[in-house]
Amino acid sequence: MRKNQHGFAHLVLIIIILVIAAVAGVGYRIYYKNNNQDQKSVQINDSQDNIQNNNSQKSTDTGCKPASAGLFTSDVTDLSNVTLIQNPIRIIGGSNIKTHSYIEVSKKSPVYAPMDATLSGGANYMETMGPQPVTKVQYILSFNDGCDVNFWLDHIVDVPEKIKEAFPAEPQNGTQSVEVKKLDLKAGELVGYSNQEGQARFDFGAINLKGPETSLTTNPRFKDDPIVKTSDKYRYATCPYNLYSSDKQKVYQALYDSNSDGDQEIIDDICE
């Protein structure tokens, strides 16, 4: 009788051990799945904004030129073609924050690198939305100076062959960042053209990773937005035209449109 009790006790112990092992296994699988999902979410959120966040690491190189007047040495386009510059920071459609400027030109115009820089990111894509859809492949071109300044140009077409070869052969249906072959360009070098005839326009934006931070980070309306809290594009946006010499700044300032309209609202005129 005692032997039977002893055997029964062993059986109960084995069952308990098996139950504990099963529970631990299920718990591990749940943790692993959730952890992977969290990592994927972070990667997706990062990928949405890394076109303008390439190499977003503050430089410790004492040889870097400061992000100040005179850093940009070449006009970004032929200024005789420019009809209007919509300066940042604006909100479009009530929710779409834009920290870059829009340059409107009277006709298809060449676009140039404003300084010696490295092509380090971007996207080639097809865009068919709007009343005048662009049927050509467009490019977002993101550059950095190897220090603390990133700048980007968007809605660019007919890029030179060496830039075209830096991107995947097939364009995307969206503007998600793609892997590009790094490419050094000189100030004044052609990078492409504005995207269409007539009222063509393209984007020109810049960030300075040494700050100061934009007013978006303290504005009660925007400061708690996860993108504003984490994206260099919104935290460190700077006016690209302020990086030209003081004489050249006056030429660009004469083209500024500081007005808001029905679809746009100026949040902070960082180009004043």
Is the full-model pTM beyond 0.85? no
Closest by CA to 117, choosing from 191, 211, 195, 212, is 191
DSSP assigned state of 217: G
Strand partners, 105: 82, 200
Give the tens place of pLDDT for each residue, 165-217.
999 999 988 888 899 999 999 999 999 999 876 678 899 999 999 989 999 99
Return all residues near 219 (Cβ < 8 A) that are at least 6 apart.
267, 268
The yes/no answer on whether domain 79-266 falls in CATH 2.70.70 is yes
Cα 217 to its chain centre, rounded Å, is 17
Distance CA 61, CA 45 (A): 29
pLDDT < 70 regions, the chain: 1-62, 128-134, 197-198, 258, 260-262
Residue 180: its pLDDT value, please? Answer: 95
Closest by CA to 89, choosing from 263, 261, 249, 258, is 258
Residue 239: its pLDDT value, please? Answer: 96
Strand duo 200-208 + 237-238: pairing: antiparallel
Residue 189: its pLDDT value, please? Answer: 98
Distance CA 255, CA 235 (A): 26
